[in-house]
């Protein structure tokens, strides 16, 4: 019997849907498949993120850590594609690529609402002698 689960799509709770959609489409190369006043769905290569508007501060989730992690096969291809767009983002909003000791090469990008979007490629983990 085949798997019934297609994918996991995280929700990003924000206060400005249009701004979030513009960030994902203009800066990160996503395509907006659905957009309404209070909701949007963006997708890139089968990875989707649902964007939900809230007007209550308690409902907004600005996550300073790893919130949206996209595993990729070739991080250099992502960098080649997005480089000029990433250069236009505010200073301090783009970090990497960084080879992590836990076996991931990561490019971290801060979204306008404070969430962290990460593109990560599996690499060989550092041995304990190197760490």
* pLDDT tens-digit series, residues 55-107: 877 666 666 666 788 999 999 999 999 999 999 999 999 999 999 888 899 99
Rounded Cα–Cα distance for residues 8 and 24 (Å): 18
| Residue 8 DSSP one-character state | -
Stated pTM of the model: 0.76
Contact 42, 24 (CB under 8 A): yes
Count CB atoms within 10 A of the CB of residue 90: 8
How do residues 45-69 score in pLDDT, each as one tens digit?
A: 989 999 988 887 766 666 666 678 8
The closest of 53, 62, 57, 50 to 24, measured between CA atoms, is 50
Indicate the domain borders of the chain. 11-122
* Beta strand ranges found along 1-131 (DSSP E): 11-14, 31-35, 39-44, 47-53, 66-71, 94-99, 104-110, 116-122
- Joined together, the tokens standing for residue 53 give 């508007």
Contact 52, 6 (CB under 8 A): no
Q: Measure Cα distances from 17 to 3, 50, 65, 92, 118 in Å.
A: 32, 10, 21, 23, 20
How do residues 6-55 score in pLDDT, each as one tens digit?
A: 777 888 888 899 999 999 999 999 999 999 999 999 999 989 999 988 88
Q: Class for domain 11-122, per CATH?
A: alpha beta
């Amino acid at each position: 019997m085949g798997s019934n689960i297609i994918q996991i799509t995280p929700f990003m709770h924000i206060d400005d849907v249009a701004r979030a959609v513009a960030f994902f489409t203009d800066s990160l190369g996503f395509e907006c498949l659905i957009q309404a006043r209070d909701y949007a769905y963006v997708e890139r290569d089968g990875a989707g993120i649902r964007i939900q508007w809230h007007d209550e501060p308690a409902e907004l989730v600005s996550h300073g850590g790893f919130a949206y992690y996209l595993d990729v096969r070739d991080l250099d291809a992502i960098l080649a594609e997005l480089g000029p767009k990433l250069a236009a983002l505010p200073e301090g909003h783009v970090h990497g690529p960084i080879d992590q000791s836990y076996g991931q090469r990561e490019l971290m990008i801060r979204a306008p609402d404070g969430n962290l979007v990460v593109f990560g490629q599996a690499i060989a983990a550092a041995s304990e002698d190197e760490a």
